[in-house]
């Protein structure tokens, strides 16, 4: 009979961790819970709920005392956790005391729901995201952090490379690419970045054992140092204000907003301990609002770019059918959550435009994302690449929503216009800048972006570009 079977209630259990969050020693109940959660003693603290508290206390250098619960495989363990961070001279770890230790039967948590919430936290905090094929080759990669610009440029210059060739994996010397499960959570360094990063590989497709591709997330372990403010004393007032918002303010705000989202998702997922259902819902609302604000910051940065005098784009061959496929892949998870089917039409190599691939993909992601949001759930969004007359090619995005009236079509691309229609359920969370920015990008590539009625109802957006 083990210690956890002898009694359902104990006064407390004590443990000690080091600066790397390894549990060095523990009383029998805590040691057994560590083992039941798949850990060793000594070994990295394997109890997710306690690990989150220890990491928080160690980072902040503050004592934490709060309710705690965990699932040990058979029952729920609960109590009141007291975390006391130690000075570096004492090892830099934490003293852990769980008082009023209780163990009671409980329905096991849904592992898929738990994993989805962890993925949501990582998506909120990732500063680099991308889409990989089944062989871990980069299809598209986008960086929000300025110290990841070299990585984005390298991925754009050599499409189809295995993602691990573009970074320096820390502590892994095996031949790449390894099985994705061995790389998920790996530490790495990015070219041109002094920060430490963590990689997440999220399998795509119905079978995680045989994924159709991967969502790549790179998450920095520490915040980016602020860049010195640009000298705007000699600029015109309007230009200086725009640069203050787009270049200076947006990057500074993005970091605290990202941490708000991550903390709210942590609370919503109850990773730091038990929580009443209504408070979990409040945290979800905070996370959703934070994601909206983060999207607005991205739009403000793009707005500054497209309104800069003399703004131009690169001129390179862009296969619109390929770009449509990649946009659909990037938004596949969002479409699945809405039970929306994404259909891509067009043969690769038949509709090649002269444009900038990154900007074409940005426009398509905006159009397809809007179609998913504003069309009814469980509907179909069709993305088609086709010829569009002499010397022109086009890609269209059609949804099955309520459509757009001629009056709405006249103002839908205006700055600040939120599509002139409600998203499903009456939620309209756009910044009103996405379509305005998309049209400016299309015009910078000597193309056009228009809207009209779809053949079976709904809206049909058409991006037309010069043929290569």
Q: Is the confidence at residue 62, as pLDDT, over 90?
A: no
**Total residue count of the chain as it appears in this document:** 468
Q: For residue 64, what pLDDT is reported?
A: 84
Mean pLDDT of the chain: 81
Q: Is the confidence at residue 254, as pLDDT, over 50?
A: yes
Q: For residue 1, what pLDDT is reported?
A: 35
Please give the CATH architecture assigned to the domain spanning 316-466. Answer: 2-Layer Sandwich (3.30)
> What would you report as the CA-atom Rg of the chain, rounded to the nearest whole angstrom?
25
- Does 257 or 275 have the greater pLDDT score? 257
Q: Is the confidence at residue 150, as pLDDT, over 70?
A: yes
Q: For residue 442, what pLDDT is reported?
A: 94
Q: Is the confidence at residue 301, as pLDDT, over 80?
A: no
Residue bearing tokens 């058979």: 74
Q: For residue 382, what pLDDT is reported?
A: 95
Alpha helices in 274-389, H assignment, sequence order = 277-306, 320-330, 332-337, 357-374
Q: For residue 239, what pLDDT is reported?
A: 47
Percent of the chain past pLDDT 70, that is, above it, reads 82
The 10s digit of each residue's pLDDT in 400-452 is: 988 888 888 888 998 877 654 444 444 445 667 889 999 999 999 999 999 99
Q: Is the confidence at residue 229, as pLDDT, over 90?
A: no
Q: Do domains 3-107 and 112-220 have the same CATH topology?
A: yes
Q: Which token pair is 167? A: 């970074």
The 10s digit of each residue's pLDDT in 328-356 is: 888 887 888 889 999 999 999 999 999 99
Q: For residue 40, what pLDDT is reported?
A: 84
Which of 36-45, 148-157, 416-425 has maximum average pLDDT?
Answer: 148-157
Residue 438: Cβ-neighbour burial (10 angstroms; 0-12, 13-18, 19+): buried
CATH class of this structure's domain 3-107: alpha beta
Domain ranges of the chain: 3-107, 112-220, 237-306, 316-466
Which helix (H) or strand (E) segment holds residue 318: the answer is: strand 316-319
Pick the CATH number of 112-220 from 2.30.29, 3.30.70, 3.30.450, 3.40.50: 3.30.450
Q: Is the confidence at residue 12, as pLDDT, over 70?
A: yes
Q: 4: pLDDT confidence band, cut at 50, 70 and 90?
A: very low
Q: Is the confidence at residue 107, as pLDDT, over 60?
A: no
Task: Average the pLDDT over 236-249 and give the result.
Answer: 51
Q: For residue 84, what pLDDT is reported?
A: 92
Task: Average the pLDDT over 110-119 and give the result.
Answer: 60
Q: For residue 3, what pLDDT is reported?
A: 39
**CA distance linking residue 349 with residue 351, whole number of Å:** 6
DSSP letter for 312, please: -
Q: 175: pLDDT confidence band, cut at 50, 70 and 90?
A: low
Contacts of 39 (CB under 8 A, 6+ apart): 23, 45, 46, 47
Residue 187: Cβ-neighbour burial (10 angstroms; 0-12, 13-18, 19+): middle
Contacts of 377 (CB under 8 A, 6+ apart): 338, 339, 340, 424
Task: Average the pLDDT over 19-48 and give the result.
Answer: 86
Give buried/exposed letters for 70-93 (b at 16+ CB in 10 A, else e): bbbeebbbbbbbbbebbeeeeeeb
Q: For residue 265, what pLDDT is reported?
A: 79
Q: 10: pLDDT confidence band, cut at 50, 70 and 90?
A: low
Task: Average the pLDDT over 287-296 and give the result.
Answer: 80
pTM for this structure?
A: 0.57
Q: For residue 440, what pLDDT is reported?
A: 93
Q: Is the confidence at residue 212, as pLDDT, over 80?
A: yes
Percent of the chain past pLDDT 90, that is, above it, reads 25
Task: Average the pLDDT over 378-388 and give the result.
Answer: 93
How many C-beta atoms surround the C-beta of residue 145 within 10 A? 22
Q: For residue 226, what pLDDT is reported?
A: 54
Q: Is the confidence at residue 144, as pLDDT, over 70?
A: yes
């Amino acid at each position: 009979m083990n210690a956890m079977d002898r009694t359902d209630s104990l006064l407390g259990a004590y443990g000690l961790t080091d600066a790397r969050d390894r549990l060095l020693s523990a009383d029998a109940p805590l040691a057994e819970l560590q083992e039941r959660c798949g850990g060793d003693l000594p070994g990295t603290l394997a109890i997710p709920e306690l690990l989150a508290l220890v990491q928080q206390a160690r980072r902040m250098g503050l004592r934490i005392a709060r309710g705690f619960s965990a699932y040990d495989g058979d029952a729920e363990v609960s109590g009141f956790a007291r975390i006391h961070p130690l000075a570096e001279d004492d090892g830099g770890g934490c003293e852990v005391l769980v008082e009023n230790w209780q163990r009671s039967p409980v329905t096991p948590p849904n592992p898929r729901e738990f994993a989805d919430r962890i993925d949501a936290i990582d998506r909120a905090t990732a500063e680099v995201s991308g889409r990989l094929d089944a062989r871990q080759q980069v299809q598209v990669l986008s960086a929000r952090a300025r110290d990841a610009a070299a990585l984005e440029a390298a991925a754009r210059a050599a499409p189809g490379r295995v993602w691990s060739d573009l970074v320096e994996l820390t502590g892994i010397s095996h031949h790449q690419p390894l099985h994705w499960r061995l790389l998920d959570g790996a530490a790495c360094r990015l070219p041109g970045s002094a920060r430490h990063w963590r990689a997440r590989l999220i399998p795509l497709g119905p079978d995680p054992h045989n994924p159709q591709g991967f969502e790549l997330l790179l998450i920095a372990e520490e915040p980016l140092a602020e860049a010195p403010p640009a000298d705007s004393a000699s600029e015109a007032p309007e230009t200086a204000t725009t640069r203050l918002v787009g270049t200076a303010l947006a990057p500074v705000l993005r970091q605290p907003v990202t941490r708000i989202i991550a903390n709210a998702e942590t609370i919503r997922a109850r990773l730091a301990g038990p929580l009443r259902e209504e408070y979990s819902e409040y945290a979800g609302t905070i996370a959703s609002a934070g994601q909206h604000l983060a999207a607005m910051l991205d739009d403000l940065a793009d707005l500054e770019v497209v309104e800069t005098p003399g703004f131009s784009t690169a001129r390179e061959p862009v296969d619109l059918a390929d770009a449509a496929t990649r946009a659909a892949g990037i938004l596949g998870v969002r479409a699945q959550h809405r039970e929306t089917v994404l259909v891509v039409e067009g043969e690769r190599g038949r509709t090649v435009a002269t444009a900038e691939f990154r900007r074409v993909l940005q426009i398509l992601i905006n159009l397809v994302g809007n179609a998913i949001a504003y069309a009814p759930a469980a509907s179909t969004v069709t993305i088609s690449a086709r010829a569009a007359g002499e010397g022109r090619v086009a890609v269209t995005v059609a949804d099955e929503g309520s459509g757009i009236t001629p009056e709405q079509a006249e103002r839908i691309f205006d700055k600040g216009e939120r599509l002139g229609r409600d998203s499903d359920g009456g939620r309209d969370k756009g910044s009103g800048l996405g379509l305005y920015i998309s049209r400016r990008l299309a015009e910078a590539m000597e193309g056009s972006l228009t809207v009209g009625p779809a053949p079976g109802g709904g809206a049909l957006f058409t991006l037309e570009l010069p043929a290569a």
